[in-house]
Amino acid sequence: MSAAVAAAARNDFLRCYHRAEFFKIVKQSCQLGFDRQAVSMPSVRWRINQIKLCEGLSANELIPDINMATPLITRQGFEKLTQELDHLWRVERPEVTKMVTWAASLGDRSENADYQYNKKRLREIDRRVRYLQKRLDSLKVVDYHPDQDGKVFFGAWVEIENDSGETKRFRIAGYDEIFDRKDYISVDAPMARSLLKKEVDDEVVVKTEAGTFVWYVSAIEYEK
């Protein structure tokens, strides 16, 4: 088998693999009405981009990191992003910069694994810092207010149940808060939009590309 044929075969395999993983994650999320959240997840966005690269598309056709998410965030989420920015800029970046300088002093950079790794990490830090600086300026912090009690609004912890007895509990939060949190959903998700202003015992009809699902609100809580 020639190198070209082998490369083409590997490319086809990777494209099929990433497609399968992508549809698996999105199908699971769409069934719960979280499809906007699912396509925003970094892991899913990465898989889509891998598919595009396998199909020979250029970099400017890849999905960008920043979408048109509603610029809302909870107080806890805002403080977490602020702490992350402070740690990256004051702690991690100086440390990595020192490592880059040290590795560069060792000689040939093209074959220097320490240099290559830390240089890549430095670019990642700078990219994240730029994003956070821009994002924090555009976000609106939504604090709890007593008038919210009894109804679902941004920041609420909601418990829902369907006719099969399946229950879910999650918090409606901002786009920047849902990553690495299985119990948070984006305010832009169909489930969240359908729940807004609902009360306990209300019926919630969630319409997604995967179908229509009916849930009932069983509890509403706020962090005070």
80 pLDDT more than 90: yes
Distance in angstroms (rounded) separating the CA atoms of residues 224 and 221? 9
**Which class for 210: exposed (0-12), middle (13-18), buried (19 or more C-beta within 10 A)?**
middle
Residue 10 has pLDDT above 80, yes or no: no
Domains 72-138 and 142-221 share a fold: no
* 44 sits in which H/E element: helix 42-54
Please return the burial class of 196, using the count of CB atoms within 10 Å of its CB with bins 0-12, 13-18 and 19+: middle
What's the confidence (pLDDT) of residue 172?
95
Alpha-carbon span 78 to 81, nearest angstrom: 5
Beta-ladder partners of 214: 205
Most distant CA atoms of the chain, gap in Å: 70
| Average pLDDT over every residue of 86-94 | 95
What is the reported pLDDT for 20? 58
In CATH terms, the fold of domain 142-221 is Chitinase A; domain 3 (3.10.50)
Q: Give the residue with greater pLDDT, 191 vs 44.
A: 191
Q: What pTM did the predictor assign?
A: 0.68
In whole numbers, what is the pLDDT of the chain averaged over residues? 78
**Residue 39: pLDDT band by 50, 70, 90 thresholds?**
very low
What is the rounded distance in angstroms from the CA atom of residue 170 to the CA atom of residue 156? 8
Name the residue type at position 160: I
- Hey, where are the domains in the chain? 3-61, 72-138, 142-221
Classify residue 164 by its DSSP letter: T
CA dist 185 and 168 (Å) reads 11
| pLDDT at residue 130, rounded to an integer | 92
Grouping H, G, I as helix, E, B as strand and the rest as coil, residue 30 is helix
State pLDDT tens for residues 102-133: 888 877 666 777 888 888 899 999 999 999 99
Give me the pLDDT at residue 36, please.
Answer: 43
Average pLDDT over residues 164-173: 94
CATH 1.10.287.180 fits 72-138, yes or no: yes
Asked whether 158 and 170 are in contact (CB, 8 A), the reply is yes
Q: How confident is the model at residue 84 (pLDDT cuts 50, 70, 90)?
A: very high
Average pLDDT over residues 37-44: 47
